Structure 1
Amino acid sequence: MMTNTKTRYGGVARFFHWTIALLIVTAFALGIIGDNLPRNADTIGTLKTLYSVHKTMGVTVFLLAVLRILWALSQPRPVPLHPDNRLETLAAEIVHWALYGTLVVVPLSGWIMHAAEVGFAPIWWPFGQSLPFVPKSEFVAHAAKAVHGTAVFVLLGAVAAHIAGALKHVVIDKDATLARMTKGAEAGDPTVVAHDKLAPFAALLMWGVVIGGALMFGTAQGAAPATTDASESTTSSASDSPSEVLSEVPEWTVTDGSLTFSVAQSGAPIEGVFGTWNAKIAYDVETGAGTTQVNIDTTTLTLGSVTSTAIGPEFFNTSAFTTSVFEADIVRLDAGPVHQANGTLTLIGQTVPVTLEFVLETDGTTATMSGTAALDRRDFGMGAGYADESTVGFAVDVTVNLTAQLSQ
């Protein structure tokens, strides 16, 4: 029989139960293995496969869980075998509904996290990489990650309680509770008032607390988008000043801006952001000449799901090199708005010539600038273990946007 009765589970319910259980155990094991593998060139392919399988299984669990819940709502649920033990029955009911919640919240929050950032490992066909109404947002990714991580602990607790209850029925009560789910055995009194209506509301309240708490306390790092601290541009110490800023050239103070870069990750572009940097700019509107020095706090780098790898010893090595410096002379090309900043970029102990081409528009005391520079990570000795572009591209495209005010 495929449908439920008041004394047995049907084939459909048993299929959902054991299939989802197997997927959860496998996905959890893959996540643990992936989290404990070292991050280097030798393991990148394995990690990508592990996390792709983990994510794809998670999405599969989510879709099966939705079908399972819809099926359960349309079916009678077998009655408890010990209805007189009200406290135990209520606890079992709450765990049951909490488990239903984890089957939705855990994989869905993981999918939202993946969709909000450029994921390191893609979700496999036929599922997509994005979700409707989920923007590419570091803040959304942080929020989803906080919910996902917290919900996993609820899942572990609920599964542990569920297994403990099943073992009690087998070892202590010696009844057919487990047999009803393993082989569809008949057990129980169909005349019993089936279930406590308080349980789903208690589980719903618990999930409200869990999700609300995760969002409140777990998203501190993603509470605001990473942006330049404009005050840094005016409070640099003497050591932050350009080695040779033309004293007779007007100085400009950066009031707003962003510093980002893009690199190919497994063939797909992924964007990095430096949260803190400051710039000292001297520029003469009449001559179109000047100088600049940009100081970048590399410890504020975020690069989607691979941030920990990016700041590690094979790439930015922020534990040893916390600052990058770009020093350049500014020249205007022809008489238009196009300029070049020709200078050097010092990064992880290597100094390399770099040209930043940008468009500059000035209106009295306000200037807006947008520019790009093309780098090659190999020039700085970055990612030496990633000898080809199948995992990490060689080309790095840097984009700078800023607004500055003429200093008085």
Structure 2
Amino acid sequence: MIKNSTSHYGSVSRALHWTIAVLIIIALALGLIGDNIERSADSAEFLQRLYSVHKTIGVTVLFLAIIRVVWAISQPKPAALHPDRTLETLAAETVHWALYAAMFVMPLSGWIMHAAETGFAPILWPFGQNLPFVPKSETVAHSAGFIHMLASYVLYASLAAHIMGALKHAIIDRDATLARMAHGKSAEPASGAKPAGWIHTVSAAATLAVFAAIIAIPFVTAKETSVAPAPVASAETAGEWQVQSGAIEFTVIQMGAEVTGQLPDWTASIDYDPTTGEGQTEVIIDTSTLSLGSVTDQAKGAEFFDTSNYQTAVFTADISRVDGTTHVANGTLTLVGETVPVELVFDLTVDGDQAQMTGSASLDRRDFGMGAGYTDEGTVGFAVIVDVTVTATR
């Protein structure tokens, strides 16, 4: 039979149950495998495929869960075979609620985390990479990722409890609880009793409280640990021009998509004569504070910025005016122990004692020996575009 009754599960409910169960187990296995594989050039392509499948399965589970809930609402639910066992029935109901909640919260938080990032491991067709009202934001991605992790713990626990409960019914109680979901066997409670009405309310409320806490924790902890933001840049006293604000960003192509990172902690010493259009600058960057979305830790690793051994990058250059507001800073960039010539072209406007500049430079990561094992641009591009903005006063 397709539909449920008070004594058995129909074929639609059983198909949805087992399909979702198999997909969840596969997704969990892929996630655990991926988390325990070392990030390197040799594993990059495999991890990209693994996480793409993991994410796609997660989104599939989300939509199947929606279908399952809609179907469950329209169908009668088979009665518990032992409603007189109050604590057991309460535990079973709570586990069911937790599983349903996890089937929504875990994949949705994962999708939000993915949408807030760019680049690594795209969700496969027909699902998209973005979600409405979800901005590209490392903060959003981090919060969603934390919720995703906490929801996974609930899913592990509730899934284990659900499986153990089913085995108990099959091996110890020797009743038809598992058989009703396995092949649609019909069975009624021997006593004809029904579970106490408060059980549904308490189990639902307990699950709601747990997941409300899971969703709230990232926001509460972020508020508690927040401090006054550090200045984007600070100026050296030796410079004629004092930096008031600014930003250094870098963009690289990863897995065919642009990924933009930030270098938030840097200082600049700037001398510049608006009359001659000439000057000098030295910029010192703390690379240990860089951020690059989901691959920040890998970017800090030995294959790339190697921040455990090289925490500082230094750009030193002579400034000259090319034409009008167009200028160029010709100098060198010392990064991960390599010094390479760099040309930064920028637009500079000076109004009295106020100056604003925007510029960019194109680097090749191979010149610095970064990502030497990533010989294929399809994984990590060779070109790195650095964008700089500065507002300064004299």
TM-score range, shorter chain: over 0.9
Correspondent of 1:363 among 340, 351, 355: 351
Correspondent of 1:204 among 208, 228, 240: 208
Instruction: Determine the C-alpha separation between the residues in 2 that align with 1:227 and 1:148.
Output: 29
> CA RMSD, aligned part only?
2.0
Pair 340,224 (structure 1): closer, same or farther in 2 beyond 3 Å: farther
Cα distance, 1:227 vs. partner? 7.3
Partner of 2:114: 114
Q: In 2, are the aligned partners of 1:278 and 1:296 still within 8 Å (CA)?
A: yes
1:203-228: per-residue Cα shift (whole Å, max 9, x none)? 1122111211243337989x699975
Partner of 1:105: 105
Structure 2: gaps of 5 or more residues: none
Partner of 1:5: 5
Partner of 1:248: none
Partner of 1:315: 304
Cα distance, 1:340 vs. partner? 0.9
Instruction: Determine the C-alpha separation between the residues in 2 that align with 1:403 and 1:103.
Output: 48
Cα distance, 1:99 vs. partner? 0.6
Partner of 1:142: 142
Pair 100,295 (structure 1): closer, same or farther in 2 beyond 3 Å: same
Partner of 2:92: 92
1:295-306 correspondence to structure 2 within 5 Å: 295-306=284-295
Give the match's secondary structure for 2:282. Answer: strand
Give the match's secondary structure for 1:155. Answer: helix
1:310-333: per-residue Cα shift (whole Å, max 9, x none)? 111111111110000001111111
Partner of 1:76: 76
Q: In 2, are the aligned partners of 1:295 and 1:326 still within 8 Å (CA)?
A: yes
Instruction: Determine the C-alpha separation between the residues in 2 that align with 1:220 and 1:320.
Output: 32
Partner of 1:233: 235
Instruction: Determine the C-alpha separation between the residues in 1 that align with 2:223 and 2:56.
Output: 25
Cα distance, 1:174 vs. partner? 1.6
Q: In 2, are the aligned partners of 1:53 and 1:124 still within 8 Å (CA)?
A: yes
Q: In 2, are the aligned partners of 1:226 and 1:274 still within 8 Å (CA)?
A: no
1:2-41 correspondence to structure 2 within 5 Å: 2-41=2-41
Q: In 2, are the aligned partners of 1:118 and 1:304 still within 8 Å (CA)?
A: yes
Q: In 2, are the aligned partners of 1:226 and 1:273 still within 8 Å (CA)?
A: no
Partner of 1:285: 274
Give the match's secondary structure for 1:125. Answer: coil
Correspondent of 1:385 among 357, 368, 373: 373
Correspondent of 1:331 among 320, 329, 343: 320
The sequence identity of aligned pairs, in percent, is 55
Q: In 2, are the aligned partners of 1:4 and 1:75 still within 8 Å (CA)?
A: yes
Q: In 2, are the aligned partners of 1:138 and 1:225 still within 8 Å (CA)?
A: no
Cα distance, 1:289 vs. partner? 1.4
Instruction: Determine the C-alpha separation between the residues in 2 that align with 1:275 and 1:327.
Output: 18
Correspondent of 1:263 among 241, 252, 262: 252
Q: In 2, are the aligned partners of 1:9 and 1:78 still within 8 Å (CA)?
A: yes
Instruction: Determine the C-alpha separation between the residues in 1 that align with 2:326 and 2:94.
Output: 66
Pair 269,63 (structure 1): closer, same or farther in 2 beyond 3 Å: same
Q: In 2, are the aligned partners of 1:146 and 1:215 still within 8 Å (CA)?
A: no
Give the match's secondary structure for 2:42. Answer: coil
Residue type of the alignment partner of 1:203 = T
Cα distance, 1:75 vs. partner? 1.2
Structure 1: gaps of 5 or more residues: 246-250
Instruction: Determine the C-alpha separation between the residues in 1 that align with 2:294 and 2:96.
Output: 33
1:363-402: per-residue Cα shift (whole Å, max 9, x none)? 2222111100011111111111111211111111000012
Pair 119,65 (structure 1): closer, same or farther in 2 beyond 3 Å: farther
Give the match's secondary structure for 1:106. Answer: helix
Instruction: Name whichever of 190-199 and 58-67 sits farther off.
Output: 190-199
Instruction: Determine the C-alpha separation between the residues in 1 that align with 2:315 and 2:43.
Output: 33
Q: TM-score, normalised by structure 2?
A: 0.94
Cα distance, 1:138 vs. partner? 0.8
Q: How many residues align?
A: 390
Instruction: Name whichever of 117-126 and 209-218 sits farther off.
Output: 209-218
Instruction: Determine the C-alpha separation between the residues in 1 that align with 2:278 and 2:113.
Output: 45
Give the match's secondary structure for 1:43. Answer: helix
Instruction: Determine the C-alpha separation between the residues in 2 that align with 1:259 and 1:331.
Output: 21
1:9-52: per-residue Cα shift (whole Å, max 9, x none)? 11111111111111111111111111112222211111111111
Q: In 2, are the aligned partners of 1:169 and 1:177 still within 8 Å (CA)?
A: yes
Pair 219,150 (structure 1): closer, same or farther in 2 beyond 3 Å: farther
Partner of 2:152: 152
Q: TM-score, normalised by structure 1?
A: 0.91
Q: In 1, are the aligned partners of 2:347 and 2:358 still within 8 Å (CA)?
A: yes
Instruction: Determine the C-alpha separation between the residues in 2 that align with 1:233 and 1:46.
Output: 44
Give the match's secondary structure for 2:143. Answer: helix
